Structure 1
């Protein structure tokens, strides 16, 4: 990397730090919540893009890994009194009812447990391909959700968890987002990243060149699940309450929507799409409410924002079939080339 690029990257990180500092002190809780969700969905989108976009595995089990991370982090950060109030039907099993850990350790354990479960799931399922792999991972995700629904003494069953400490703030969200970005960039630009892309393009050719297909598929699957668990933990401690119904297939679909819209196999596209989709859904909420223009009042139509948002997505899919970025990535050279004026040719216009 050029010295200029390193300096500009450091400046960008400092600008992000200053923005988070300003937003944390001046934005209202609603605005901060949207910014938190944007950063969390960047983490979730990058984790899924590693599996689906860069490695070419059609996995639909992301909601299950998020559930593991969210429940683990929540259970380990809740106080003993909060657990007693929450588990009123059946008492929580010992010694989990008396364990309270710092947020960072609980978040890390949530990610590691998600990665471990992904390793167990990946061993039998990653030998499948295409639609069969999608069905298998979706099935395992539903199994995880059903287990959480029926383990009353561990997860409080269908009632879910309440009184979860609101540890997630802008510093945690954007710090985790930045860490995930750096890890993904380093991973994709390494020899492992090249092996992932080779598997995506042609498994037979990759294997003939000496790439261990199963090893690299499991690696991508486990790393993606780890960051999905981290994102789930951040989301659970942001919302303050979770239940198994939150982690249905629709949650996986939302993350899949982000990476498809941004570009399968593009880190930059995932970041842009996460912010566009998350903030766009909130800004379009005004369509569901009455709009007073002063001289006329337009009655809102419930559900109109989803219709408009879906129409915008269709436009993007039609005109950007590979997503907003395709497989392209941001670079400082490309940015500066946009502002450079090309010199006129010495030849005549008609020549």
Structure 2
């Protein structure tokens, strides 16, 4: 009876802390939405979008162990779907001036939420056709194949003038500025990811990551499980791409070069392959860190004839700082751990013990 009461008390205490944290988080988002300026609001929105796309990539790469590099392509699908279906009908003639918009799309305008979900579903459909051949590959071969398909998607969007307006892109997309859109969506996707990872499907994902042969011997369907992870990741990425388009108010193929995928790969490696909380922390660190170092891209001569700071130095310094972090945290900031209440309590106790030992040794040396 006492053991049951203790476990129930621990359960309620844990969920009480989580509930308080969520309330404080929601209040913080509300206050930030009211008081921060437009520049900071856009930057915070971008952080939330990076959380969504990075979690989707970590689901495939970190939890399932499949080295996929197709995030930019799935983002483009979500972004263009939102752009095509939310731009006001009366504005389309001015946007598609080189070649009129395709008649079957010209008069269709959807609410933002419907277009956002449609973008995620469109990414799932494309991911199914990409994943069917590619997920039979492993390692570097899978990475090269998904990266190639991502570039194919971008090139298709560049050449379908009557649908995507080609290289000119699509402007006049109704924008979102409120933090509730991005952070509300990110919170829902975080909860969905947690529930998925700690379900039987999540255990199947992790078993494939650890040992495919052993997983198959235990009855896990390799291709089906990989495809499930791949499709869910594509859906989340398409949602992130749609929010990205609505945040910027414009899309064009140049925004979705394969180098965009490397940003998300950097985030999941820095945060920890297979860590949800690590991915969230790293998304903010990378996004805000790159912006904080933007001043390095501005030429500064310091009274000399030659500029000392040149464009591109920001990424050099940022990459150097990341290299230092990776050298000391080879598995990322969190590894495969999660930032739970128990984890934080253990870390606090560990730091407390180290300080206590240091204090004791200092006093002993003084005597």
TM-score (normalised: structure 1): 0.93
Q: Structure 1, residues 193-222: CA drift from partner, whole Å, max 9, x if none? A: 011011011110100000000100000000
Cα deviation, 1:247-285, whole Å, max 9, x if unaligned, reads 111011111111011111111110010000000011111
Shift of 1:105: 0.8
In structure 2, the gaps of 5 or more residues are 1-9
Q: CA deviation at 1:81?
A: 1.7
Return the match for 1:210 from 219, 236, 243. 219
Residue aligning to 1:37:
46
Measure, in 2, the Cα distance between the counterparts of 1:125 and 1:303.
35
Of 34, 49, 66 in structure 1, the residue corresponding to residue 75 of structure 2 is 66
Instruction: From 240, 248, 254, give the equivalent of 1:231.
Output: 240
Pick one of 159, 164, 173 that aligns with 1:150.
Answer: 159
Deviation at 1:99, TM superposition (A): 1.3
User: How far apart, CA to CA, are the structure 2 residues paired with 1:255 and 1:63?
Assistant: 9
Aligned to 1:172: 181
Return the alpha-carbon distance in structure 2 between the equivalents of residues 96 and 235 of structure 1.
22
Residue 294 of structure 2 is matched in structure 1 by: 285
- More divergent stretch after superposition (256-265 vs 300-309): 300-309
Alignment correspondent of 2:3: none
Q: Is the 8 A contact 1:70 1:232 kept in 2?
A: yes
Whole-angstrom distance in 2 between the partners of 1:140 and 1:273: 27
Distance (Å, rounded) in 2 between the aligned partners of 1:252 and 1:302? 22
Instruction: Indicate the structure (1 or 2) with the bigger Cα radius of gyration.
Output: 2
Question: Partners of 2:102 and 2:205 in 1: how far apart?
Answer: 42
Q: State the Cα deviation string for residues 34-54 of structure 1 (Å, max 9, x = none).
A: 100111000010000000110
Larger helix fraction of residues:
2
Matched residue, 1:53 = 62
* 2:317 corresponding residue in structure 1: 308
Q: CA RMSD in A?
A: 2.2
Q: Whole-Å Cα distance in 2 between the matches of residues 301 and 23 of structure 1?
A: 34
Q: Deviations over 1:58-84 (max 9, x none)?
A: 111111100000000111111002212
1:139 is aligned to 2:139: no
Q: Distance in 1 between matches of 2:138 and 2:348?
A: 44
Q: Which residue of 1 aligns with 2:125?
A: 116
* Contact 1:289–1:299 under 8 Å retained in 2: no
Number of equivalences: 344
> CA deviation digits over 1:318-342, x for unaligned, max 9?
1111111111111111223344566
Task: Give 1:290 deviation, angstroms.
Answer: 7.3
